[in-house]
Amino acid sequence: MAVMPKEAQDLFNNAKNMVLATSTPDGAPNADPMGMKKVLDDETVYISDQFFNKTLANLKANSKVAITFWGDEGAYQIHGTANYINEGEQFDELKKWADGNFAAMGAPITAKGGIIVHVDELFTCKPGPDAGAKIA
Q: What is the pLDDT of residues 35-94, one digit of tens each?
A: 999 999 999 999 999 999 999 999 999 999 999 999 998 999 999 999 999 999 999 999
CA–CA–CA angle 82, 43, 75 (5° rounding)? 90
Q: Which pairing describes strands 44-49 and 64-71: parallel, antiparallel, or unpaired?
A: unpaired
Q: Which residue type is seen at 24?
A: T
In the chain, the largest separation of any two C-alpha atoms, in whole Å, equals 45
pLDDT for residue 1: 79
Averaged over 13-26, what is the pLDDT? 95
Residues 6+ apart with CB under 8 A from 102: 36, 108, 109, 110, 111
Q: How far apart are CA 108 and CA 72, in angstroms?
A: 30
In this prediction, residue 17 has a pLDDT band, given cuts at 50, 70 and 90, of confident
- Report percent pLDDT > 70 for the chain: 100
Amino acid at 11: L
Q: What is the average pLDDT across 13-38?
A: 95
Q: Where are the beta strands (DSSP E) in 42-112?
A: 44-49, 64-71, 74-85
Region 90-106 average pLDDT: 97
What average pLDDT is seen over the chain?
96
pLDDT on residue 111: 97
Residue 33's pLDDT is 96
